[in-house]
Every structure is written in structure tokens, then in C-alpha cells.
Copies of this chain bind each other. A is one copy, B any other.
Amino acid sequence: MTQREFVTICEVGPRDGLQIAKTRMTTDAKVAWIAAIAAAGVPEIEIGSFVPARVIPQMADTQEVTERVAGIPNVVIQTLTPNLRGAQNAYHAGAAKISIPVSVSEGHSRANLNRSVDEQIAEVARVVAWLREQDHYLKVVAGCSTAFGCSIDGVVSTEAVVRVAVGLAEAGVDQLMLADTVGYGHPAQVRTLVRAVRNEVGDRLTGLHLHDTCGLAMANALAGVEEGLRMFDSCIAGLGGCPYAPGASGNIVTEDLVFMLESMGFATGIDIEKLFVARELLHAGLPAEPMQGQLRKAGIPRTFRLAA
């Protein structure tokens, strides 16, 4: 029997999922939810972002959440940090990995980060340099935001994405994710972009961050995994969206994505029934938030893992 190939799911619900929620989840509820996600076998969880509380109040407790979940075994606790100061806070709070957003389009870069694209790439280089001077190193993943188009600037060229990816590789990031921040991407574009970026930065290109704005998230994930990518951000119940990306809607649904990957013969290490338990905790913590995802409604088919 051959070993099944592993695909790494990073659950970004506690960060991307909560940041545009109309109501707030309490710190205790967040911690319990994150523990349930880890208990389902999800290997990486983005648990919050170190940004000013006045900008994204839902993330005001990220330091406390990080400190409280950092000891959970068998899971990589990741936080989003837009800059060096955030990275330093994440380091001291006990995060194991940090993600840094870098927009490819100038319009989104200004709106989301109040910096130009090149200024943000330089900031990433500063973060990597600082981390290398510390006692232990945190892995850095950069997310190339608006790589598939921007609701502010419109079309984003393949050349622009490649340029940013090369800049981030030179800045020393460990992993690169292409992010369809507003959900404009389509599968042929996924294939084109993945090939173009990998051609320049190789396997440093790790995965995709997808939104289901136009209903194509799952098809885009399929194109990505078929192109050889082995890491995907996703959100339980498909929550999420960027507050500075007008028109964006929820992330690809973790439950449905895991179902697809496992059905296709990939290993994710995730127990879908336990993912449903984590979904219930999300609902309990944010009862007013609409929940997406087909699998939970339908139940796991009786042919799961048996069909060809």
C-alpha cells in the first residue's frame, strides 16, 4: 500500500473568519474553539493578528489568545503580523509561525497596510532579519494578497505577482501563499500563476488562500492541488473576508475542502466529525454569523473513502 500524500490545512477562521464578523467572540470562546480545531487534527491554525485594536477590534485579544493556546500539542500556532512590531509581539507571546500579508496591487497595499508594495517587501526583510537574531526562529509565510485580481485596482498581472514573489523569496520568507483575497480567481488562472511563480521561486511557493466570492473556491483549490501545491488556508463554515477588500466574501470552507482532498486520496490528518464539533463551537461563540458549507448539511456520504 502506498503512503498517501499529505496536504496541510491551515485553519484561518480565528483570524480571517472573525475579523469581519459583526459580533465579537469572547477570549474564552476563542481558546475553546482553537482547542477543538486542534483536537480535530488540523495541523496549523492562524489564531489572530497583531494589529492595533482600533483597526480590527475583533483581534484585540490576540496576545492573550496566543499565550493561552501556545502550549496545545501537535499544532502549529500561527499569527498574522503586518510588520516588525507585530512579529516581535508574536514572538514574545509564543507563536510558532507568523504570516505576513503583502499585497500585489498598490491599491490594496495602501488600503490594507498603508504602505506601498515595495515598502512592505522591505518590512518583510526586516522581520526575517530580526527573527534570525533571536534565540529561536519562527517560520515565516508571506501571503501574496490580491494575486488573482483586486476590487480596487482591477486586473493584477502575472508579472506583478512574480515580481512580488521573487522579492519575498529574496527577503528570506520560508513559504509563499498566493491569496485570492477578493475571490476573483479562476482555475485556468490558478494553473498559469502557479506555474509562473514556481518557475521563479520553486517550492518556496507552498499553497493558496482562497475566497469563494464567485463560487469557484473549490475548483481553484482543485487546480492548485493538481499543480502540486500542498498547503491551503481555509475557514470552518466559510467565514471570512478582508475589511479592506470591498466585495470579498468568505474563505473556502474547511469541511468541504478536507472532504474533497480526503476523497481524492490525500491525507490531511483531519477527522471531519471532530471538525463538525469545532463548527458547533464556532456557532456557539458567534450565533449571529451565517455558516456556509455543504458537507455539514448533507452529512458525510456513505461512500466516503470507499469510492474509486
Interface residues of A (CB under 8 A from B): 148-149, 151, 154-158, 182-189, 192-193, 212-216, 218-219, 221-223, 247, 249, 253, 255-256, 259-260, 263-265, 293-295, 297-299, 301-303, 306-308
Complex CA–CA separation, A302 to B246 (angstroms): 12
A295 to B253, CA, bound (A): 17
Specify which chain B residues have a CB less than 8 angstroms from the CB of A158 in the assembled complex.
308
Residues of chain B contacted by A259 (CB below 8 angstroms): 214-216
Distance of A262 from chain B, by nearest CB (Å): 9
Which residues of chain B are within 8 angstroms of A255 by Cβ–Cβ distance? 215
* Identical subunits present: 2
Contact call B265/A188, Cβ cutoff below 8 A: yes
Tell me if B148 and A294 are in contact (CB < 8 A).
no
Q: Apart from A193-B308, A216-B256, A247-B298, what 8 extra A-B contacts exist at CB < 8 Å?
A: A154-B306, A155-B306, A183-B298, A192-B308, A215-B295, A219-B222, A222-B223, A247-B301
For A156, A186, A192, A213, which residue has the most chain B Cβ atoms within 10 angstroms?
A: A186
Residue of A149, A221, A256, A307 with highest tally of chain B CB at under 10 A: A307
Q: A222-B219, A223-B222, A303-B155 are in contact. Are A213 and B294 (CB under 8 A)?
A: yes
* Neighbouring B residues of A253 by C-beta, 8 Å: 215
Find out whether the CB atom of A214 lies under 8 angstroms from the CB atom of B294. Answer: yes
Q: Which 9 A-B pairs have the closest CB atoms?
A: A215-B256, A215-B294, A186-B263, A149-B303, A219-B222, A188-B264, A218-B219, A184-B301, A213-B298
Verify A302–B214 contact, CB threshold 8 A: no
Chain A to chain B contacts (Cβ below 8 Å), 28 pairs: A149-B301, A182-B301, A183-B298, A184-B301, A184-B303, A185-B307, A186-B260, A186-B264, A186-B307, A187-B264, A188-B265, A189-B263, A189-B308, A212-B294, A213-B298, A214-B295, A214-B298, A214-B301, A215-B218, A215-B253, A216-B218, A216-B256, A216-B259, A218-B219, A219-B222, A222-B222, A249-B297, A249-B298
Complex: A256 Cα to B219 Cα, angstroms: 11
Residues in B with CB closer than 8 Å to A218 are 215-216, 218-219
B-side contacts of A189, CB under 8 Å: 263, 307-308
Residue of B nearest to A157 (CB): B308
Cβ distance A151 to chain B, nearest Cβ, rounded Å:
7
Residues in chain B near residue A247, CB distance under 8 A: 298-299, 301
A139 to B194 Cα, complex, angstroms: 42
Kindly list chain B residues whose C-beta atoms are within 8 Å of the C-beta of A193: 308
Among A193, A216, A223, chain B packs the most CB atoms within 10 A around the CB of A216
With both beta carbons as reference points, the residue of chain B lying nearest to A186 in the complex is identified as: B263
Residues of B within 8 Å of A186, CB to CB, are: 260, 263-264, 307
B298 adjacent to A222 (CB under 8 Å): no
Chain B residue, CB-CB nearest to A247? B298
Give Cα distance in the complex from A156 to B298, angstroms: 19
